[in-house]
Amino acid sequence: MEESDFSDVLASVREFIRERVVPLETEIDEKDAIPDSLRDACKAMGLYGFAIPEEYGGLGLPLSQEVRLVFELGYTTPALRSMFGTNNGIAGHVLIEGGTEEQKNEWLPKLASGEVTASFALTEADAGSDPSGLATTARRDGDEWVLNGSKRYITNAPLADVFMVFARTNPDVPANRGISAFLVPRSAAGVSVGPKDHKMGQFGAWTADVHLDDVRVDGPALIGGEDGVDKGFITAMRCLAHGRVHIAALCVGMAERLVDESVSFARTREQGGHPIGTFQLIQGLIADSVTDYRAGHALVLAAAAAFDAGTDTSVGPSSAKYFASEMVGRVADRAVQVHGGAGYMRGVPVERFYRDARLFRIYEGTSQIQQVIIARGVLGRL
């Protein structure tokens, strides 16, 4: 997008987040739901499709612009971003990366407008960090495929209209080569969604199990068509690499908010007749968080630029996700410390962000998996 148009988008998203969403954060956390008014506003602003190409109705932002948008989204509850995150990110990207032209034309405009919510269904009870161990199967039966299995912790499953399901199509080749991806409408017979998971944080964002019991889909449901047979794992890894830079940007946005909360509290809270911000030990906590935030900001911009240029689509995304997710954990911990007892109380933003931030080190690849990818990337085959 032209920089001048993009600046307008950024300014309106910034205003929306700070003036309309921030005041509702506690309500979202307590009710575990995003108000419909915010959902509708996000649709109207094009937020369901910022990463979807313009020819399919999205804003078509390259990753370098996407991360600047996500810095703004990260300033508030991550549940807001999660609501449209799967359409733009891991689920929508399965189609962008691996879909046929017909599949893109049919589904991407509906994802971009928010008419349809899509989920990315890779993880299973016994296949998380190593998804090549997944047990869900897809068996050919004439022109149809028959899917059986269960997926776990699937973001937006309770709302989803369609699932991008990864299933084993060929048990006779090495584990990660025999997997394909399928578009499975929620309305298909045999699809059921379990109860909402009771999570630690990020209330307002929902996950659940998805069960597939003899689900029949026809040939066009195979992502990428016949060329997509056994290519699902590669598609999933490409989507996750893009998603990792996105999550890193979200962490940076949250870190900025945590710094702002810490600074304003340290300016106004007094002990012994002095604002706590005058104490050098409090200054040390704040200085460390500002430094962490700035390092994360610079790293994410660099990783996004290298991703767009095609010069680094693996170590860069993993380093950004690893550093930024660990970084926001440290910043959240210091923010609670700066707030003293208040930081441990419900209704105080830093308490909520402390819980919300914990997820970033776990999903879309744990910190240990990012370490493995980074080390393999630089060591090469030994």
Ligand X SMILES: Cc1cc2nc3c(=O)[nH]c(=O)nc-3n(C[C@H](O)[C@H](O)[C@H](O)COP(=O)(O)OP(=O)(O)OC[C@H]3O[C@@H](n4cnc5c(N)ncnc54)[C@H](O)[C@@H]3O)c2cc1C
Q: Give the one residue of 73, 80, 95, 121 binding ligand X; rule: CB under 6 A.
A: 121
CB of 128 to ligand X, least distance (A): 2
**Contacting range for ligand X; rule: CB under 6 A; set: 13-21, 63-71, 188-196, 359-367:** 359-367
| Plot region of 224 (φ>0 → left; ψ -120 to 50 → alpha; else → beta) | left
Distances, alpha carbon 215 to alpha carbons 51, 185, 207, in Å: 30, 10, 21
Strand pairing class (144-155; 162-168): unpaired
| Plot region of 300 (φ>0 → left; ψ -120 to 50 → alpha; else → beta) | alpha
CB atoms within 10 A of CB 44: 12
Q: Give the one residue of 342, 363, 376, 377 binding ligand X; rule: CB under 6 A.
A: 363
Q: Give the one residue of 122, 250, 252, 299 binding ligand X; rule: CB under 6 A.
A: 122
Count residues near ligand X (CB under 6 A): 21
CB of 125 to ligand X, least distance (A): 8
Nearer to ligand X, 16 or 84 (CB): 84
CA distance 130 to 259: 35
CB of 337 to ligand X, least distance (A): 25
Q: Is 3 a catalytic residue?
A: no
CB of 281 to ligand X, least distance (A): 32
Where are the strands (E) in the chain, listed by range?
118-121, 137-141, 144-155, 162-168, 179-185, 191-193, 207-218, 270-271, 274-275
Nearer to ligand X, 149 or 365 (CB): 365
**Contacting range for ligand X; rule: CB under 6 A; set: 3-11, 122-130, 216-224, 313-321:** 122-130
Does the protein bind ligand X through residue 120 (CB under 6 A)? yes
CB of 197 to ligand X, least distance (A): 7
CB of 317 to ligand X, least distance (A): 15
Closest CA to 79 of 25, 139, 2, 153: 25
Q: Is 382 exposed, middle or buried (0-12, 13-18, 19+ CB in 10 A)?
A: exposed
CB of 325 to ligand X, least distance (A): 12
Nearer to ligand X, 170 or 368 (CB): 368
CA distance 304 to 247: 12
Does the protein bind ligand X through residue 368 (CB under 6 A)? yes
CA distance 313 to 343: 38
Distances, alpha carbon 292 to alpha carbons 3, 66, 254, in Å: 28, 21, 12
Q: Give the one residue of 123, 235, 262, 370 binding ligand X; rule: CB under 6 A.
A: 123
Which residues between 200 and 219 bind ligand X (CB under 6 A)? 207
Nearer to ligand X, 6 or 363 (CB): 363
Q: Is 8 exposed, middle or buried (0-12, 13-18, 19+ CB in 10 A)?
A: exposed
Q: 191 forms bridges with which residues in the sheet?
A: 212
Residue tagged 């739901």 (tokens): 33
- Residue of 97, 124, 261, 364 marked active site: 364
Nearer to ligand X, 206 or 293 (CB): 206
Does the protein bind ligand X through residue 349 (CB under 6 A)? no
128-167 footprint of ligand X as x/- string (CB under 6 A): xx-----------------------xxx------------
**Contacting range for ligand X; rule: CB under 6 A; set: 36-44, 114-122, 251-259, 292-300:** 114-122
Nearer to ligand X, 142 or 380 (CB): 380
Q: How far separated are the first and last CA of the chain, in Å rounded?
A: 42
Residues that bind ligand X (CB under 6 A): 119-123, 128-129, 153-155, 199, 207, 359, 362-366, 368-369, 372
By annotation, the residues acting in catalysis are 364
